[in-house]
Amino acid sequence: MRRMLALAVMMSLVAISGARMLTDPDLSEGDGPQFQCRVGQLLATSPDSICLQVVVAVPYDNLHFVRADSGFVATSELVSSLYNKQGALVAERMSEPMVFTADYHETNLATRALTRADQYVILPGDYRVRAVFVERESDGESRFEAEISLAPPDSLLRLSDIFWIQEGASGLVEALRVVKFFFTDQESAVARFQTASVGAESLQIEWQIVGAEAESLGTHVFRVAPTPEPTLHELRVNLQGLGSGEYTLHVEAEGSGRRVARELPFSVSLRGLPRSVVQLDLAIRQVRYIASGEEMRRMQESPPYRREEAFRDFWRRRDPTPNTEQNELMEEYYYRVEYTNENFSTNRQGWETDRGRIYVLYGEPSDIERHPFEINSKPYEVWYYDHLNRRFVFVDYTGFGEYELAWPEGAR
């Protein structure tokens, strides 16, 4: 019975799976190509000003390419704007970024992106940043907005934000890497930042990688001569041995009686898997709703050096399009897991709750009836799945948001 249900669920997943992303503060909204925007501070030549950098990156697989004479091209318009706290326009940049590739395979890559960086030299204060991206082929428009507060810099010691850089870039602006994830099979990553100081003593730069549990994974220290002009520094971060997970690059500069720190979060994932899969053992536990007991034992009891391959085999057997790089079923499944963690978590992770389990198995309901304040009744919800001719009733018996499946009893 469980295998039959799992098969039905997998067929349902195949039918509705597609490119989906959860809410991210760095992601755009709208009906155009989704892009990621990174807003950060560089050092201006004047110690009283700040160089604000607005970087937009649109993955190739989000763009509409059309055939050109010798390849494929995607054209667009980009407007980045800066407003003060009164809502008045302070500055604006307009451009027409274009990307060309001779290889059709590249048009479907999520690891390559059209990237554009605009810079504004401004005074400290509160601002609102807006970026609008319009794709000419589809006329779709996407928009990003963010509020920022820029504190006055200290001329005795200034430290810019940290930026990931593509290999071989000659400057801080060229080939910026906005996407903050890497893969376990990559050897290293390059980050750059700036310092400036009018003091007489040398600056001590300390940097380290910090794990998800706030543990330091090694500290590196070097000294640089002070200079009032912004000076560019490069760090090569060793990714070997980090393993999949969430990390932070922490940089601290000290000198002239001042100490300034900056941080840059990033993640390391298994190549070919959804970005949300950063802990292999957890990802294996999360498939228990569709895996047989034998499949779970095979993955969990495999030695560490074979566990990843067992996990990949599990999903390879369920790939609806085995001749492509993308496994739509796996991506949809972990999208649902991530959605439940954001929306149904209590004292347990969302995917482990009853509502989370049903959402992972069946997806978004056709309709939800919510009854939070019924007289003589505990709060409850009714989820309808019209296409499956099913409904589920969840009751919050404790009043703390821990909804339990009340009907049908024992539904799996």
Query: Could you state, in order of their start, the residue ranges of all structural domains in the chain?
Result: 2-17+285-407, 31-153, 155-269
Average pLDDT over residues 131-149: 92
Average pLDDT over residues 11-28: 53
User: Which tokens hold the place of 69?
Assistant: 């004479």
231-238 vs 380-385, strand pairing mode: unpaired
pLDDT (0 to 100) of residue 255: 94
Of 364, 339, 358, 346, give the one whose Cα is nearest residue 405. 358
This prediction's pTM: 0.73
Judge whether residue 393 has pLDDT over 90: yes
Q: Does domain 155-269 have CATH number 2.60.40.3880?
A: yes
Strands (E), 21-124: 29-30, 36-43, 50-59, 66-68, 71-84, 89-95, 98-101, 113-122
Judge whether residue 185 has pLDDT over 90: no
pLDDT (0 to 100) of residue 5: 42
State phi, psi for 149 to the nearest 5 degrees: -125, 120
Average pLDDT over residues 388-395: 95
Identity of residue 24: D
What are the beta bridge partners of residue 396?
none
Residues 6+ apart with CB under 8 A from 251: 159, 162, 193, 205, 206, 207, 235, 261, 262, 263, 264
Judge whether residue 91 has pLDDT over 70: yes
Average pLDDT over residues 357-369: 95
315: left (phi over 0), alpha (psi -120 to 50) or beta: alpha
Residue 114 vs residue 177, higher pLDDT? 114
- 155-269 has the same fold as 31-153: yes
pLDDT (0 to 100) of residue 279: 81
CATH topology of domain 31-153: Immunoglobulin-like (2.60.40)
Residue 294 vs residue 174, higher pLDDT? 294
Under the banding of pLDDT at 50, 70 and 90, the label for residue 16 is very low
3-state secondary structure of 52: strand
Q: In whole angstroms, what is the distance from residue 167 CA to residue 326 CA?
A: 26
Average pLDDT over residues 191-217: 92
Under the banding of pLDDT at 50, 70 and 90, the label for residue 368 is very high
Judge whether residue 219 has pLDDT over 80: yes
Judge whether residue 105 has pLDDT over 50: yes
pLDDT (0 to 100) of residue 350: 94
Q: Following DSSP, what letter does each residue of 158-211 receive, concatenated?
A: EEPPPEEE-TT--SSSTTEE---EEETT--EEEEEEEEE--SSSPEEEEEEEEE
State phi, psi for 352 to the nearest 5 degrees: -90, -10
